[in-house]
Homo-oligomer: A and B are copies of this chain.
């Protein structure tokens, strides 16, 4: 794909659309800095210009212009992505949705809400909780990530295990296509058998098919009660095996998170809190149960204990206060930051059928031994979604750059052989792109590329991602 550069004439055209306050050029070094990276490894790409439109109409005009002039556009939410989706790898224009940040309406009669894509996930969650409503998807970055980004990557988070991922809450979206056309994808209804599912085609398309400008979410009643427990295991694979057993006992926890020993140690160190972890504890499960009725939760907890009795577990900590619960969650949510702060790393977002987790974990460690890398594993075990953080530590640059990719390939091949795939909630983006052929066959790739061509005939939207 041959693109044109952002000339002064292009800047002028963009400026006429968004206004001078809403454009950033590379000479504004400080203002530009945050647009050169997302949360993916230590990657940096400098765009030629950043524009911050305020609505679908401005985005439509920008898209039309760039479509006609073959200028690449990289859409960007909060820049918290972990697969490099918001990086301007072909330079050109970064289109930030940060000014589309309104909660347009919360419709309590229909349990729906209409929002713009630049609303922070947690802000939205708190706004609906005030009305007794619940928007469950909660990626670890929920305090800073945008709903539009969550949709683009089909984000999950701990509650997905009971409540589903972001895609399961979208009823309808307004999108601007790369050609500049504005359309809704569906209708504001819970069931829709009217034509192909454009809504779900757009969700998880990583900003390559269109830019989301409005979202209609469904909401559910807020479950007022919950119960959180931290279960220490003396064997990592046993912790993984227990996950599947809990579901088989008829319990659907609202979260079921796995953390390797190092994940907890690094997170507690990062947060500067003392954690007294016996030496023989190699992993933890963080289990949350939620619902309307506390008595029922205690009954469910009893059933969970009965499952856990069959394993070699340490003393189970049940969080009694809201503070204790918040602390446990804080610990879990900080694992990613902790690993990141500790070393250069790569994060793989593997996912397998949940009962295959022990095999995945064992395989990852064996592959690590073979390729001489250390990994810290944690994640949404209830979904079979294991985040594998490979830390550079004292690996040589040569091994890191040239040998490690073969190790990653082996991990991904293992996932696929177990019925899984290479990304559960982070997307393919830039960094998993070399591995897409492990997960998708030639037929699938042909269909994906055909769909891309249909939506974006000039290939201007987020080029260099997915395939």
Contact = CB atoms under 8 A, between A and B. Distances in A.
Query: Which of A156, A161, A190, A424 gathers the greatest number of chain B CB atoms within 10 Å?
Result: A190
Nearest to A200: B200
A189 B250 contact: no
Contacts of A184: 441, 444
Number of copies: 2
A73 interface: no
A116 to B, nearest CB: 18
A9 B292 CA distance: 66
A7 interface: no
A188 B353 contact: yes
A436 to B, nearest CB: 7
Interface string A432-467: 100010011101100110110011000000000011
Interface string A270-298: 00000000000000000000001100100
Contact of A355 (B110, B168, B222, B251): B110
A252 B220 contact: yes
Interface residues of A, number: 93
Interface string A231-252: 0000000000000100110111
Given A192-B424, A421-B192, A424-B192, A198 B248 contact: no
B204 A196 contact: yes
B187 A443 contact: no
A201 interface: yes
Given A107-B353, A296-B293, A421 B197 contact: no
A108 interface: yes
A422 B194 contact: yes
B110 A195 contact: no
A423 B194 CA distance: 5
A75 B293 CA distance: 48
A183 B444 contact: yes
A193 B425 contact: yes
Contacts of A427: 193
A356 interface: yes
A112 interface: yes
Contact of A419 (B154, B188, B204): B188
A324 to B, nearest CB: 26
Interface string A392-418: 000000000000000000000000100
A69 B425 CA distance: 42
Nearest to A177: B443
Interface of A: 107-112, 132, 153-156, 160-161, 164-165, 167-168, 177, 181-198, 200-201, 203-205, 209, 220-222, 244, 247-248, 250-252, 292-293, 296, 299-300, 349, 351-356, 380, 383-385, 416, 419-428, 432, 436, 439-441, 443-444, 447-448, 450-451, 454-455, 466-467
